[in-house]
Amino acid sequence: MSTFNTATSRLPDDEVLASGEYPLTRRDLNDVAAMIYSDAGISLNDSKASLVYSRLSKHIRALGLSGFREYCALVSSPEGAAPRREMLSHLTTNFTRFFRENHHFEHLKSDVLPELLSRAKHGGRVRIWSAACSDGQEPYSIALTVLSMMPNAADYDFRILATDIDPKILAQARAGVYDEAALETVSPAMRKQWFREVDVQGRRKFQVDDKVKRLITYNELNLMAQWPFKGPFDVIFCRNVVIYFDEPTQTRIWSRFAGLLPERGHLYIGHSERVSGDAKNLFDNIGITTYRYNGKPGGKK
Ligand SMILES: C[S@@+](CC[C@H](N)C(=O)[O-])C[C@H]1O[C@@H](n2cnc3c(N)ncnc32)[C@H](O)[C@@H]1O
């Protein structure tokens, strides 16, 4: 496999960047980086050597392989399709929280939902997309915000599409079962109304009520690939994922979102992200990491 990291391509390929049970050389890291970039758009460089080492070495042991060389050969071969998908799950960061960056939910509630809920009540269609939804805490937070204003929202044509590249994390999202600690940022009233206590192998957990789940459809989707829908979405949440992509990829994603939003449709992004490049002309920045599509042409589907 060719060297991915051009900035470091003059550095020795056999230099060991992290070690323990198996040495991880620059060649290994570059091979892993090339695969994860082509599969998910995620950029890795030498600074991520110990992360790659710690996330993949257990996997290498479980597969009974001799080290990173053999692992890279396997996951880049047709027989290695399953472990390659596993590699993606191991290398993606799934951290999330209910009502993370709560100002977005406050804005949604005060400035966006009143009009959308009124439209739904009058027979209109409303769609919200949580792109890169991780284990569901983001789409459930959107749904809980909606239900706090309209408890029967699911009786109308009001739906939240929640997608992620990682099928394992989506299975958790669909189940909607969380530790009590995860519910710290959910108000006591919402907990009481929309979660029920369940016993999972002797452990006390909390499951999201089916009435909340009814609002959400979960689907596997790679933001790098074709998107199998035309929109429009009234609101898009795409938070804390493009930070792992390079700048041209980020710009392309923002433009593609513009192609799916109606004029004045909203886009919420992560706390360390900014709409960048040419896509800046398509959005008005109306608050902290909060954008509105201005209707100018240039959005790409
Ligand atoms: C850090 S979590 C963010 C979760 C949530 N949006 C939030 O802000 O709390 C990033 C998520 O992006 C997903 N992801 C990474 N690359 C992706 C891609 N190319 N397409 C879709 N999802 C991706 C990961 O599987 C992970 O669940």
Name the residue with tokens 């977005």.
104
Q: Can 278 be counted among the known catalytic residues?
A: no
Rg of the Cα atoms in the chain? 21
Distance, first Cα to last Cα, the chain? 32
> How far is 102 from 108, CA to CA, in rounded Å?
10
**Is pLDDT larger for residue 20 or for residue 287?**
287
Ligand 1 near 147 CB (within 6 A): no
Q: What are the pLDDT digits (tens) for 146-183?
A: 999 999 999 999 999 999 999 999 999 999 999 999 99
pLDDT, position 128: 98
pLDDT, position 301: 63
Q: What are the pLDDT digits (tens) for 108-130?
A: 999 999 999 999 999 999 999 99
Ligand 1 near 132 CB (within 6 A): yes
Q: What share of the chain is helix, strand, coil (3-state, %, to 5)?
A: 45, 20, 35
> How far is 211 from 151, CA to CA, in rounded Å?
9
Q: HSE of 96 in the Cβ direction (CA atoms, 13 Å)? A: 25
* Mean of the per-residue pLDDT values of the chain: 94
Q: How would residue 4 be classed by pLDDT, with cut points 50, 70 and 90?
A: very low
Ligand 1 near 241 CB (within 6 A): yes
pTM of the model: 0.94
pLDDT, position 11: 77
Taking the centre of ligand 1 as the mean of its atom positions, its distance from the CA of residue 48, in whole angstroms, is: 18
Tokens of 229: 């829908």
Name the residue with tokens 């496999």.
1
pLDDT, position 2: 37
Q: Could you tell me the maximum CA-CA distance found in the chain, to the nearest angstrom? A: 65
pLDDT, position 45: 87
Say yes or no to pLDDT of 5 above 70: no
The domains found in the chain, sorted by start residue, are 16-91 (1.10.155.10), 103-293 (3.40.50.150)
pLDDT, position 89: 92
Q: Can 164 be counted among the known catalytic residues?
A: yes
